[in-house]
Structure 1
Amino acid sequence: MNTQRRRRATVKDVAEEAGVSRGTVSRVLNGHPYVSDEARTAIDAAIAKVGFVPNNAARSLVMRQSMAIGLIVHEPHSLFIEDPNIGAILLGANATLSDADYQLSCLIADTSRDIDRLTRYLTGGLIDGVIIVSAREGDPITKAVARLDLPAAFVGHPRDIGDAAYAAIDNRGAAREITRRLAATGRKKIGMIAAALDRDSGADRLAGFVDALGNDFDPQRVERVPLYSYSDGQKGMRALLEKHPDIDGVFASSDAVAAGAMEVLQSAGHRIPEDVGVVGFDDSSWALRTDPPLSTVRQPAGELGRAAAQSVLAQLRGEKARDGIQVLECPVVWRGSA
């Protein structure tokens, strides 16, 4: 067997095959407009014949661009798999970046060691910009991005990002609206499983719940849990039932949390919606897995990913970060759970 590696075709090989200079080939490869159609056709044919593959690493050194955008997800590994919103954000961002010939690099920050490693990675010039999901206030990743002056856009709106670009929804207003609709069904003892209060989305959803109930708000009927997860929904609902067995309405701050809460309620013999009305937030695949289907808020996760990617690309073209702020609509979707 011949174990010799085949020699990689070069720009010189393409130029000789096409009968043009190496400079002309380079101009075509780098997208310069001042090349005749005849030369372009000859170069395209030569590339196909000699099997030339551009050396993107070398091109990146010349252009000082990696043509890669990092998507940093600051969540535990388990939630990255469980939360369909993260997948939708990723796919939305990837579609936009792919259209612009950029590669998406997915980076997960679970532990403090991950954060230290990612901070070092960001300094290496291996990515041109970042999209950051689930950042907290005071997040070390946010601080590293600001220090490096990387083009960046957040999914969500942490309060300490200054003029940085972000794509978000009105979490507070949407939570207020769906809680009012739940109360309008006649519920008098409404509780909340409030998740992820260390980030803007969780804190704003709790604030909207408080707004909606006004003088009827009872802080004892709020159960705080760390993550937007099914298991935290179960834990939160068990705790609420233990303290308030007569509860007749629940706002869960994500669909996964709501699904976990519904499982606990039904196992305890509570009928949904006859005994307890339940509403969630996201309109993710979790909302249609429950029985009955979940009333919720539609979060346009894919559109958020696309908007954040568009903002990073705009910054790479020289536009200002603050021009890339977008707040998307998030309507209530009413189903059988309430």
Structure 2
Amino acid sequence: MPSLFDQVALRGLTVRNRIWLASMCQYAVDACDGVPTDWHLVHLGARATGGFGMVFTEASAVVADGRISPQDAGIWNDTQADAWARIVGFVHERGAAAGVQLAHAGRKASIEAPWRGGTTVAPADGGWTAVAPSAVAFDDLAAPRALDSAGIREVVDAFAAAAVRADAAGFDTVEVHGAHGYLVHQFLSPLSNLRDDAYGGSFENRTRLLCEIVDAVRGVWPERKPVCVRLSATDWVEGGWTLEETCEVSRMLGERGVDLVDVSSGGLDPRQQIAIGPGYQVPFARAVREKAEVTTAAVGLITDPAQAQRILDEGDADVVLLARAALREPGWPWRAAHELGIPAAEAPYPPNYARGAWRS
């Protein structure tokens, strides 16, 4: 079985290890223009310096109205792409790969940052009217507008255009965000998708938007570069999206040129009852890996190096993604190497930090 510090190859990309930084919203665009700032450079650059193999940006909106909050980053115009290019360049200088998560928040758009209450931002206050598969609100947020067929086409085209910009910015991979109750997930789940047209009802119809986005992205994304997709394996609500459906759509995605499925869960319905504990989503990644026969990443309360290595040892996933643990400890891979007895050459410190290296 591979070590956390073994390389992993996806198409023409070789990533230096299997410890990756998960996408995490930063709500740090002060100008509300979607342009990433020095905060993003420091956030992602610190983890690249700290030894992560791949660092993913926060959910980066493919259209302005697809942002979760006015403070979210985007990649819907060239000014944003140019700003990302500077950050990607620094990440590459530190030896890490860079991925951008392409996202549309759907009915969970135009809300305040969590520490500002997470409530709807009205159009009069700089917000906008959210869109969704159906005009059904999430919890107590404002009701969204249901997308018509032309609107759906615009969403697909926006993902493709964002992928073109991501390539120009130098990103090594794109991740289509299909999880956590955002637009693509809203189409997947029968709890939020009440449509009676070609995009609602049956499994085939509810997965249509995701497949069209993947086809559009894969069609413009360089063949040598991998495409990833993040999915919520279950809604944790009776009658919602299921693990079995996740496995089936993951198999379909593999056939369409997706190279890795990042397996998370939840986020669609406030009634969710999640059995939270260390590595609580890892069994979902294993199920997808085995049943869909695709490369998978596990995420969710992975905090301890021995725990992370065990995920690989037991064949649960091919890659581990850290989120909260990485916020606390940008150099987590260095500690992992020390605790697991990995030679320094396999987890090197930059010379600027060598005096702080873990010693046996």
Taking structure 2 as the reference length, the TM-score comes to 0.26
